[in-house]
Structure 1
Amino acid sequence: MAAEEAPPPNKVPRNRDTKAALVFLAPWVAGLLFITFGPMAGSLYLAFTDYNLVQAPEWIGFENFERMLNDSRLHNSLRVTFTYVFVGVPVQLVVALLIAVVLDRGLRGLAFYRSVFYLPSLLGSSVAIAILWRQLFGTNGLVNQFLAYFGIDGPGWISDPRTALYSLILLNVWTFGAPMIIFLAGLRQIPNMYYEAASIDGANKLKQFFTITIPLLSPIIFFNLVLQIIGSFQAFTQAFIVSGGTGGPSDSTMFYTLYLYQQGFGRFDMGYASAMAWLLLVIIAIFTAINFIASKYWVFYDD
């Protein structure tokens, strides 16, 4: 009688590992399907309907998207948001990088300074900080009280359409802690031998910064750039609190997300709000794709 073939080695343990992996992955997959993809599919359907939360959605095709073409307040909200992103993000990253370079010099109490600089990032998008910012830059706020000591009559920074948006940009720049921590970690990974060799060749600190630090730190800069652009396009709390939910004065702080909120939860025009949300998704995807395409011209990796 022929001997029975032995089962392949490790077959049983591998089956058990596969089952265990599926069990642990099941909650994540369920969340992805029912909490992420499910609402996204529902939102995509509502973008083609007229829906006010009371009556059943009515299919209207591309009318919501056609309406966007003639919505002047939506166009203004895009302009405000683009200004916030294209001005605030570069300035924030420059400030974060400069502070990281200073901290990388080996200051005493580095952990303390790192915590202090990181703290605004934890609180920057909170309601409390937005309220504080409104008190600081109000007509009779602390900033104008300080300027009054020098005989300067400061404007109402958040009540003047010319300065209100830039007050919010300053708030965004102030929350540089998160990218600063990432920059600091990247700086610690640059071998010191490069700087020593450059010093021997006669390169000063400024030249070393642009020829060694920036190129070797470019993957970190790219990472922070992508994250901050995505986050800035989604900014909402600061504008909502500072303007009282109106986007004023004169729609100067009407972020795209705030206008979306007004349409969806102010006018209960959920169909139009859903269409706006998908437009925002497309805009963020386009800018992310542009960054990835352009990165091959200025981001340098070890290989």
Structure 2
Amino acid sequence: MTTIRTGRRARTDQSGTPPLRTGVRRRRRREATSALLFISPWIIGFLVFTLWPILQSAWLSMTDYDVLHAARWVGWDNYVELFQDPKVALSLGNTVLYTVLEVPAHVLVSLALALLLARAGRSSGFFRTVFFLPKMTPAVAVGALFLLVFNGQDGLVNRALALVGIDGPAWTTDPAWVKPGLVLMSLWTVGASVVIFLAALRAVPSDLLEAATLDGAGPWQRTLRVTLPLISPSIFFVTVVTTIASFQTFTESYTAFFGASSSAYGNDAALFYVIYLFQQGFEYLHMGFASAMAWVLFLVILAVTIVQIRVSRRLVHYEAGDA
């Protein structure tokens, strides 16, 4: 039975709920249903190809599994063996050192190129494309190119150094120079970070730069005291993403030093953590051990990222948050 009341009293139905509110709730349910239908392919893909493999790897890390036979539960034995394996410590140390060298170099070079592009005017579009194109190069090709460019005998880098009277090192065989060579080679693909920094630089308010100029600040002072603080969120983002990628470096080094055609160049200085994980899982079929290594790597990256986030609270400037 429907009741109609005058004045400020709303019309109600038998359930006691005003029709307007009922209509709003129905519309919201329809919108929610439509939204879920639209994003259902992503949800299904996430559950099948991301969440399920993560849970499966957690279970496999507690088993002895070689793909050919049924998994056998061993508990924490894989983790105990992992911390006793000297090559795990070697590969993790190589990865940490590579990350310490690669991340600052990547950020500084990409930021310097972005600062130059910001002054290039109309030609910046052309150079932005030129800098980004190497990012499209297959990583396997970059690994093969490394052996040619950094060859200790007649590589392009050592030939260039010889022109200025410098005797270049054996980049591919000397353990002390393998990781610096790989870091230099990784700078080939800084184009994506250059584009990010360039977008951040163009978002810097020009009136602040003009005010700094009127106050007598030179180009370096404007860059250090105005530009860098305002683009610090972009710097932080690139630093975190590059750190995560560096901890997972694999293709270039594996192609150059551990591939089928590169066995002669095998070098423990290039044995990174993910390479050893791949060898354990897909060459030796120690899937349980490899899964345990993957979870340790996840925890290491998580810890490093948390530290970076905590440090960023003092160094990163968010203009909106300060308003």
**What secondary structure is seen at the aligned counterpart in 1 of 2:176?**
coil
| Partner amino acid, structure 1, of 2:302 | A
Contact 1:134-1:158 at 8 Å conserved across structures: yes
Q: 1:202 aligns with which of 203, 216, 220?
A: 216
Structure 2: gaps of 5 or more residues: 4-11
Aligned partners of 2:58 and 2:292 also within 8 Å: yes
CA distance in 2, matches of 1:34, 1:219: 33
Partner in structure 1 of residue 56 of structure 2: 42
CA deviation map 1:3-24 (0-9, x unaligned) = 5837333444333222211212
Determine which of 269, 274, 282 is the counterpart of 2:286.
269
Q: Give, as a single letter, the amino acid of the residue that structure 1 aligns with 2:224.
A: F
Q: 1:160 is matched with which residue?
A: 174
CA contact (8 A) 1:239 1:247 kept: no
Q: Which has the larger radius of gyration?
A: 2
Aligned residues of 1:81 and 1:256 also touching (Cα < 8 A): yes
Q: C-alpha distance in 2, partners of 1:132/1:250? A: 17
- Could you tell me which residue of structure 1 aligns to residue 298 of structure 2? 281
**Unmatched tracts of structure 1, length 5 or more:** none
Which amino acid is 2:289 matched to? Y
Q: More helix by proportion, 1 or 2?
A: 2
Q: Does structure 2 retain, via aligned residues, the 8 Å contact 1:77–1:256?
A: yes
Does residue 221 (structure 1) correspond to residue 235 (structure 2)? The answer is: yes
Q: TM-score, normalising length from structure 1?
A: 0.93
Choose which of 43, 49, 66 in structure 2 pairs with 1:52.
66
Q: How many Å apart are 1:152 and its aligned residue?
A: 5.3
Q: Structure 2: how far apart are the matches of 1:194 and 1:234?
A: 39
Deviation at 1:155, TM superposition (A): 3.6
Tell me the CA shift for residue 81 of structure 1: 0.5
CA contact (8 A) 2:173 2:267 kept: no
Match 1:183 to one of 185, 197, 202: 197
Relative to structure 1, the CA distance from residue 77 to residue 247 in structure 2 (aligned partners, 3 Å threshold; closer, same or farther) is farther
Deviation track 1:246-299 (CA, whole Å, cap 9, x = no partner) reads 695440100100010011111110010000000011111111111111111111
- Map of 1:98 onto structure 2: 112
**Distance (whole Å) between structure 2 residues aligned to residue 297 and residue 237 of structure 1:** 35
Structure 1 residues 243-252 or 75-84, which shifts more? 243-252
SS at match of 2:270: coil
Counterpart amino acid of 1:209?
T
* Equivalent AA in structure 2 for residue 289 of structure 1: I
Q: Deviations over 1:217-257 (max 9, x none)?
A: 11111111111111111111011111033695440100100
Aligned pair 1:120/2:134, yes or no? Answer: yes
Indicate if the aligned counterparts of 1:247 and 1:253 stay in contact, CA closer than 8 A: no
Q: 1:46 corresponds to which letter in structure 2?
A: L
Return closer, same or farther for 1:104/1:247 CA change in 2, 3 Å cut-off. farther
What secondary structure does 1:163 align onto? helix
